[in-house]
Structures are given as C-alpha cells and as structure tokens.
Structure 1
Amino acid sequence: MAKLEAELSKLKGQLEKAREKQEKDAAKSADKLAKDAAKAADKAKKAAAKVKATRAKKKTPAQQRQLKSAVTAANAAKKAADNAKAAAKEAKEQLATIKADNKLAAKVAKSIAKEEAAVAKKLAAEAKKKAAAEAKKAAAAAKKKAAAEKKKAAAAAKKKAAAEKKKAAAAKKKAAAAAKKAKAKAKKATAKKKPGRPKKAATKTGAKKSPGRPKKAATKTKAKKSPGRPKKAAAKKTAARRGRPPKAK
C-alpha cells in the first residue's frame, strides 16, 4: 500500500513538473512573438512616417525610386506585423489548449489515483480477512491437535495404569502361591513321618518271558500267478468294421 502511494506521488510530481515546463515554454514563446509583433508594428509605423514625409517633398527620379522602396518596405513591415500578431494569437490559443489539456490530465491522474487507492484498500481488506481466516483455521487445528494429544496421553496413562494393576495382581498372586508353598513345606517339615508301606520281598528266580505268538509255517509250493483278464480282439473288429483285412503280425 505504502509502495503504491509512493509511486503515485512520484508520478504526480513528474506530471506537475512537465506541465509547469510546458506552460512556461508556451508563455515565453507567446511573449517573444508579441515582442516581435510590437517591433514589426513600430518598424512599419516608422516606415509609413518616412513615406509620408518623402511624399510631401518634391520628388526626383532617385527620390521616387527611394519612395517606391520605402513603400515596399512599409508593406513588408506591415505584413510581418500582421503575421506576428497572428502568431501571437495562435500561441495564446495554444497556451490555453495546453492549460486545458494539463487540467484534464491532472483530473484523470487524480481519478486514476483515487481508483487505485480504492483497489489497494479493497485488496488490503481482503488480505486482512484472509489472514484472519487462516489464523482462525490454524487455531482450530492447534486446539484439535491438543485435544487429540490429551486424549491419546490419557488413554496411554489408563492403559499403563491397567498394566501396572495387572502386574501387581500377578505379583500378589505369585507371592500368595509362594507363601502357600512355603507354608506347606514348613508344615511338611514339622509333621511326623509315617511308617508307610513295607517293601515287597525280592523273588528268588527271575520272571519268565512270554513265548509270544508262534510263527506261521512257510508254504512248500510257490503261489501261482493269476492269468488276469484276457485281451480283446480289437484289431480284428476294427479292421472288419472299416472293410479292410487285419495287419499281418
């Protein structure tokens, strides 16, 4: 925004300087043309007076030629004065046009600057709105993340506590079992030993081994092999069906 304003100010300054220079140059040109016109008019006036004075006197051929030259010079001076007047008038008109153009240019520049300032203001408002929305979004995301982290931490702590509790219960159970075992051992150690069952007398002879199943007697003759299924006379049947004699083997 500040950069845009600086650029506009710079452009405005340059335009103002250019306008002042143009107006100054046009005014100088108009003054010069007016002075030239005044000089030409004075010259014409002098030439006319000279012609008038010469005409009053008696004229010789040389004087007549001089008079003719003076008349020509007076006419030329008058023409130059008229031209100078027309040029001065034109310069004045040009100066007026330049002034009007500069005024219009200043008005246009002012309008453009105003429009650009409005656009810059609108853009700044949009940027502010966008930044606010982004900040709000970021805050919401951070809040959500923090809540998730808190929930996760709580769940982890709960799980850990449950594990610790389970571990403690197992340790308690183990201790109870050990205590019970120790108590039983102590009871066993303190209790009187019973006489128990008397040992069986050893046998004089060793136990007899069972004879087991008797072996089957081997067959004297070898079993005959089964002849199996007889082969079909397929070749003969096929040859008969197709109308040709069977192949000789």
Structure 2
Amino acid sequence: MHTQASLTADLQALGLRPGDLVMVHASLKAIGPVDGGARAVVDALRAAVGPEGTLMGYASWDRSPYEETLNGARLGDEERRAWPPFDPAASGTYRGFGLLNQFLLDTPGARRSAHPDASMVAVGRLAAALTEPHRLGEALGKGSPLERFVESGGKVLLLGAPLDTVTVLHYAEAIADIPGKRRVTYEMPMLGPDGEVVWQRAEDFDSNGILDRFAIEGEPDAVETIANAYVALGRHREGLVGSARCHLIEARDIVAFGVAYLEALD
C-alpha cells in the first residue's frame, strides 16, 4: 500500500517543486491503494508543492444542464423550476473529471470559480487569483482561469489520467487563429442578487469539437490528437507515482504547440 510520504517522494522525483502551480488530472484507481485514500493523495500533492505552491483541478458541476440546454434545447418549465442553481460553495463536482476534485474542493482554503460548467477549484497561494473572475461565455478561453494558469507558468500533471484529459488544450483551441471554429449555446441556473434563480444564456467555443474534423463520434478530438503528438516529442517528464504512469507537462509549451498544430492544419 502506498503512503502519503511515498507519493510525495514520487511526485518530487517526477519533477514537482516547492512553489509550483499544478493543474492535476488524476485517476485514483491507477494510483492504487493508498493509506488514507484520496485525502492522502491531496496531502501528498500539497506537500510536494509546499506552502507557496498551488493546486488546481477541473471541477465542473454534477448538476450542470449543459447537455439539456445545448444549442437551443430547453427543459420543461417544471424541470427548470426544480433545477438547483449553481452555488460554488455547496454544489458537487462532476465525477467524470475525477473524484480527486471533490477532495480538493473540500480542502480548507479552497476557492472555486463561478462558471458552473467550467468551474475550476484551486488550493494554495494563487487560488483566488486563478479562480476570479470566471464569467459565462469565458469558459476555457480568454478571461478564464486556464488563461491565468498558463500565464502564471503552470504545469499539467496527469496522475494516471489519459492524454485526452489535458484541459489546458481547450485554451489553445480558443486562442488559435483558425477558421470554422464551432460554437455552442447553453443555459445555466445562477443565483440572483436577492437569492432568486436566474437562467442565463451563454455562447462559447465547442469544447467537444473545436472543428468539424474533431467532432466525429468515436474519433479522437483535438485535445487527444494534440496531446499524443506533443508527448511523442519527449518534451515532458514521465514517471510512476504510486502505481500510476504519470506525465508532467509545461502548460505554456503544450499550449504553444497546440496553437501551432491547429494553425498548420489544411
């Protein structure tokens, strides 16, 4: 069984340093059994980056009505009235992006951004600066926590997670100068100034397929395609953390690569 101390040592051997800003994508199953469970994994990450470091995760929202309101789809009136509004302090995280994010959110001092579907959680010195503001219509592109993460010199850690989880590449999609970008609309229930529920409409880039060629069911999207091409260059670090094969990637470098990749497409 792995321990917090052994995981911290593994993370340091992989390349995490005190003061680092790290966006974590984790598979707890891949890490293997840990004494203390997911909380010990979070504590190991925090120990590796130290008190001056910051951890960030993609929390999203377990009740996000993104699919139910996508591109003009509409919930029935009764469903809309019953749907809970997004509350950064209390709403759950989307389990599809990993259980570890809920443990990050439950960590004392954690901050969560205000965009329901693209909500980010951060713990550490830069937590407030990363998560505020986060407006509808600025999910993963300019003005988002991802932009501030990249500009702050962040690192992406795939802790046993697959290459199609490199969320920061959605930022590359947003800023790449390419024609034909797909856009979507959706609605989110937000808390109004007097505590009432207000459904707000948003328009943003299509994170499920920035171009038609990357929106074919069963085929790799742009994130997976670019991440695989990047890793083939060997500009990242790899190693074991617990039982998990891990990747440590400089966010600025993979974003620059992603932008160039997209802009070079025919």
Q: TM-score of the superposition, structure 1-length normalised?
A: 0.15
Question: Relative CO higher for 1 or 2, CA cutoff 8 Å, sep ≥ 6?
Answer: 2
Greater fraction helix: 1
Structure with greater strand percent: 2
TM-score scaled by length of structure 2 = 0.14
